[in-house]
Amino acid sequence: MQAFPVFLSLQGRRALIVGGGDAAARKAELLLKAGAQVSLVASTVGGEIAQLIAEGHISWAGCTFDDSELDGMSLVIVAIEDEPEQARVSDAAQKRCLPVNVVDRPALSSFIMPAIIDRAPITIAISTAGTAPVLAQRIRAEIERTLPAALGRLARFADVFREQVRRTLVGPRARRRFWDRVFEGRVGELALAGDEISARRELIRLLDGFRNETPSAGMVHLVGAGPGDPDLLTLKAHRLLQRADVVVCDRLVPDEILSMARRDAERVYVGERRANHCVPQKEINERMVALARAGKSVVRLKGGDPFVFGRGGEEVEVLVKAGVAVEVVPGVTAALGCASSAGIPLTHRDHAQACVLVTGHLEDGKLDLDWKMLSRPRQTVVIYMELDALPQIASQLVAHGLPASTPVALIENGTTERERRVVGTLATIEQQARRTFLSGPTLCMVGEVVGLALSRDRELNFESRMGL
């Protein structure tokens, strides 16, 4: 986050605009809508600005800027083309710790004017930290299309009952569940449609039901976070993160995904980094049971898929035995995500009629795998592994019949911006991995399909170089 988003109250406060053109007029209109008392410094005025002055909406303070113009101001906007003057006004404002924005000059600004969606009292602001204002406008247009024009009416309706709901439902979790039901159900539909009488009647009936409702038992959702790319998170996973009271998560889950949880949800870090198990599994199980019995909605967030080397099966058994309701929400496992990202088909009619997923974690420095099965031809082997296991994997596969020339791909931090790939053969991959200094979560893929993807990439690169 490059800039901290803040909504500043300007009702009855003074704001200064330096400039008299179209950009100044647009900023003046926004400030007036926010309730500010706007003063203007400009050598010339015309068009909309002149109209606003003539109608008494803004006051013209003079033709040239003087530091004294900042007295009593709460905010400054500079909308002139004179670069030395831009810098002078910005410097004077920032010396007084006044928020200042210089139009199209983020380096001179202490705040950025966002693209705004106004559904008063709801305001949505989009910012690109001054890097791409047109992109912010496009994002605003996309959001505008999805929001009802009467959304502000729904917010005002809820505000009427906010205090009554607070007095009736003591616990924050009960209030949150109530308001979720209001906004997602018939009450929200009636309020948006403008039928406030029916909406009030329905809300009171719903509130009476919540008042007499027995507190519900908690529940645990085992949720797959996918291989790392936030866009690969399922819609259901996102919805559950938004409703969770507690998120129990592995440290391998990226911050970009964890940030999708409700901001006031408790975060409990229990998972592991590579070769470093932070919390024993027994303690994780006990903590989830305790949270659910306390009535919490718990999301157990796991990298990849909970049922693919995620110990999800063990956790389900413990939760069911403890009488805790549990739901499993699948995620895109690392094998699928990394293969797609690298362009490696896990199966192929001519090259691989099977795909085998195995875990290559060392125990006492050794791997106990079915090497004969893994060394069969015409299949793809995907190994969830520690890098320390790579020498044993390569040597054992060759010893059990796979040619030393069999293609191998190592994919670190697959599907993320930090993704790196090392490609070689069973004979060369260990040396290549050492040269590359891989350190993050790494997946190993072995089989002819790796070579197939490499051949295709070489052809594409050749065609690109030849201009084909």
Write out pLDDT tens, residues 341-373.
999 999 999 889 999 999 887 676 678 899 999
3-state SS string for the chain? CCCCCCCCCCCCCEEEEECCCHHHHHHHHHHHHCCCEEEEECCCCCHHHHHHHHCCCEEEEECCCCHHHHCCCCEEEECCCCHHHHHHHHHHHHHCCCCEEECCCHHHCCCCCCEEEEECCEEEEECCCCCCHHHHHHHHHHHHHHCCCCHHHHHHHHHHHHHHHHHHCCCHHHHHHHHHHHHHCHHHHHHHHCCHHHHHHHHHHHHHHHHCCCCCCCEEEEEECECCCHHHCCHHHHHHHHHCCEEEECCCCCHHHHCCCCCCCEEEECCEECCEECCCHHHHHHHHHHHHHCCCEEEEEECECCCCCCCHHHHHHHHHHCCCEEEEECCCCHHHHHHHHHCCCCCECCCECCEEEEEECCECCECCCCHHHHCCCCCEEEEEECHHHHHHHHHHHHHCCCCCCCEEEEEECCCCCCCEEEEEECCCHHHHHHHHCCCCCEEEEECHHHHHHHHHHHHHHHHHHHCC
Provide the mean pLDDT of the chain. 89
Determine the pLDDT at residue 234: 94
Q: What is the pLDDT of residue 454?
A: 63
Q: pLDDT tens digits for 270-327?
A: 865 544 457 888 999 999 999 999 888 999 999 999 999 989 999 999 999 999 999 9
pLDDT at residue 465, rounded to an integer: 30
- Name, of 86-100, 253-267, 438-452, the range with top average pLDDT: 86-100
The pTM for the full model equals 0.73
Does the pLDDT of residue 399 top 90, yes or no?
A: yes
pLDDT recorded at residue 456: 53
- Give 60-85 pLDDT, tens digit per residue: 888 889 999 999 999 999 999 999 99
Across the range 192-209, mean pLDDT stands at 93
Mean pLDDT for 240-265 is 90
What domains can be seen in the chain, in order of their start residue? 14-113 (3.40.50.720), 151-211 (1.10.8.210), 219-332 (3.40.1010.10), 335-458 (3.30.950.10)
Q: Provide the pLDDT for residue 272.
A: 56
